[in-house]
Chain A
């Protein structure tokens, strides 16, 4: 701190003593000075242009690390101890660190000396690991941390009641759960299509499927039909099932590709039971859940169904509006919410299910939102309900149009319809929606503005955002309810009953990010580059992907590489990608070598049509017609490139 050019001895009196020990020299070009470890040095460069080259080295082995780290650790752990303990630690350090190494461990057999014995690289690594894990274990909780008993859920849409029902059913005996919703505020309720994971949620809550289906006016769903996506008139189904039989080294698509080379022509899609059932408009409960399915449901009815369950298990419902949120002045945790009636509801943990408004996480905590519109530019939706005119189909329909897409979700008593588009590229599309729906409209068109993206922190202080308050991805792959379910079940698995710890929050934050990004990737997967351009659905797609999340979306199938990146579990499964990509006519040029290990007759047997596959699907794409399926056409085109040496590899004999 002392300015050597003008030492302020009044302010730094002891510096006078230091100067008595100072040693000075002035060096010119070619001169050198050896400064031993820990000698203090003050350096002045005196000319207009100065260059110095120096060398640093240590005499001790590098695995011993630097004592400087030990100093910092000791400042953290020892300096602020009570005086008596601090003095004891001084003695302990004196003994172990500064004492005679051999004398202090002489009473222990050499092989049992551990940290007291000589330190080699392996021992140093063990000690480093110990310090690292020990410092994590001693993590301090967030300030003002306290056990969590009172849970307050704000908002009673699908998200709010899914959280309330699950938590009250499983943890209702140990938690005090309150849900605040206003009967005067409507819900968005467009999350009416689900994926098979909802069956797990229902099972966790011991929900009887028949009661459930009756209550939510539900229908069974085997997949999603993508219509007009790759080209007008083309259609493929993204089924919930597994296609064909995999080998542990490689997915079924590799064997199917080998079969194509040998003249088998059955489309890939016909090896999927769910897809064939969907095309045939059939459904069955098969033993061992051999048929994967999900539901279409009336989200308002679903909320009512869950509410009854939650209240039965002790959750308290308040029909009121939140007018104010009180934060702790020291740590910014939410202490309570004030209601329009004047009541104050205190809580230890708050779950924000207030939809796009995000009353707690954004309104009170200003968490911030990460916008993904640059990746998925649609920002408007219009929803309308119509009377059903035909028997419900066992799949969700997703129909592309020139600047977005439409959904059609069949329920028992009505059809859910909607349109999604980008406001910057097209005018409101309600006429278009109304002109394409079948059956009489039952509701006024509900205009919804949204911004694709996610909250910067899914868990901020003592507030966890669920559902639309947490983020939004167009429901193209029916993932909204799945995301709610994942958040709720994980919260219950890792319930912060002993307080909110920074490492838990960080872990959840990471997982949540991955999950949202995975859903966004799944969405992008449904769009080949060609489709995206044609529909103007994505921002222009650079050749090598994007640099920002959730961008780096390695497509699970590439024309030039047969291997499939091994992604995370859940929905980013290999077969999901393959069905989607092959459905769009994107086939890789080569396959895994394991497929060549089969003899032609084995290939023939494994690819032979089975009875259920022989049934002709009701619509187009019959396997034996003259028109090739797009996937086969793509494969053949890729093969032609091969024979021409397109990728510089010798062509395989056909």
Chain B
């Protein structure tokens, strides 16, 4: 069960640049990055997507959060709110993918999550092969890789364009003024 909000407005991908129009409103652009080789690989299957990532592996260490199956993919605080419920390690891309794929058929997988990793640092070739959509301003590009997960509601100061490459993702959005009703945790 999940929060079922009103559906988000959707527009077609052809020449779409919704960040250029005022007032700024969230909008879904179906197929905006459908031409990415990573997306093409994902359509063939998870194995092919993994291969594509590994072709561009730059042998860097990535920060990985790992949480036990009991948390059901929910990144949260620990019991006494002194830290998160995950353990942070540094691993190579092949090692993380190996671990993720070991739980492919596990109905209760652990949370394995590479969050917000700058592509230019982690795998520069991947950013070249899968370029940002046209008309996007100069931006910081990050990659997120993981098993089933749930990330609590939060806000970012910059504008954000999130492009799903592999797997399905559900987004639940709230306008900024809902701050008081969302029981936000502490971010700093």
Q: Contact check, A33 vs B183: say whether CB atoms are below 8 A apart.
A: no
Contacts of A31 in B (CB 8 A): 28-33, 163-164
Residue positions of A touching B, CB distance < 8 A: 1-7, 12, 14-15, 17-19, 21-59, 66-68, 72
Q: Contact check, A52 vs B169: say whether CB atoms are below 8 A apart.
A: yes
Q: How far is the CB of A495 from chain B (nearest CB, A)?
A: 37
- 21 CB < 8 A contacts A-B: A18-B178, A23-B8, A27-B164, A30-B34, A30-B163, A31-B30, A31-B32, A31-B33, A34-B18, A35-B173, A37-B157, A39-B176, A43-B150, A43-B169, A44-B172, A49-B167, A50-B144, A50-B147, A51-B145, A55-B161, A57-B158
Q: Contact check, A33 vs B162: say whether CB atoms are below 8 A apart.
A: yes
In B74-100, the 8 Å CB interface with A consists of 74, 100
In B136-165, the 8 Å CB interface with A consists of 136-165
Given contacts A5-B2, A31-B29, contact A53 B146 (CB under 8 A): no
Q: Contact check, B53 vs A51: say whether CB atoms are below 8 A apart.
A: yes
Q: Contact check, A41 vs B171: say whether CB atoms are below 8 A apart.
A: yes
Contacts of A58 in B (CB 8 A): 157-159
Q: Contact check, A32 vs B103: say whether CB atoms are below 8 A apart.
A: no
Residue positions of B touching A, CB distance < 8 A: 1-8, 10, 18-19, 24-34, 36, 38-39, 42-43, 46, 49-50, 53, 72-74, 100-101, 103-106, 109, 119, 130, 132-133, 136-176, 178-185, 188
A52 and B62 CA atoms in complex are apart in Å by 15
Q: How far is the CB of B123 from chain A (nearest CB, A)?
A: 10
A7 and B150 CA atoms in complex are apart in Å by 14
Residue of A44, A55, A68 touching B160 (CB-CB under 8 A): A55
Given contacts A41-B172, A51-B38, contact A23 B26 (CB under 8 A): yes
A27 and B162 CA atoms in complex are apart in Å by 10
Given contacts A24-B172, A47-B168, A54-B144, contact A40 B154 (CB under 8 A): yes
A165 and B138 CA atoms in complex are apart in Å by 66
A59 and B161 CA atoms in complex are apart in Å by 14
Given contacts A41-B154, A45-B146, contact A24 B1 (CB under 8 A): no
Closest to A2 in B: B183
Q: Contact check, B26 vs A22: say whether CB atoms are below 8 A apart.
A: no
A1 and B138 CA atoms in complex are apart in Å by 33
Residue of B7, B132, B183 touching A25 (CB-CB under 8 A): B7
Contacts of A40 in B (CB 8 A): 153-155, 173-176, 178-179, 182
Question: In the complex, which of the residues A19, A24, A26 has the most CB atoms of chain B within 10 Å of its own CB atom?
Answer: A24
Closest to A13 in B: B181
Residue of A14, A50, A55 touching B145 (CB-CB under 8 A): A50
Closest to B184 in A: A1
Contacts of B53 in A (CB 8 A): 51
Residue of A1, A32, A46, A50 touching B185 (CB-CB under 8 A): A1
Q: Contact check, B136 vs A14: say whether CB atoms are below 8 A apart.
A: no
A4 and B3 CA atoms in complex are apart in Å by 6
Given contacts A14-B181, A30-B32, A35-B173, contact A49 B1 (CB under 8 A): no
Q: Contact check, B167 vs A29: say whether CB atoms are below 8 A apart.
A: yes
Contacts of B184 in A (CB 8 A): 1
Q: How far is the CB of B35 from chain A (nearest CB, A)?
A: 8
Q: Contact check, A43 vs B151: say whether CB atoms are below 8 A apart.
A: yes
Residue of B18, B36, B140, B145 touching A57 (CB-CB under 8 A): B140
Contacts of B5 in A (CB 8 A): 19, 21-24
Q: Contact check, B174 vs A36: say whether CB atoms are below 8 A apart.
A: no
A34 and B19 CA atoms in complex are apart in Å by 7
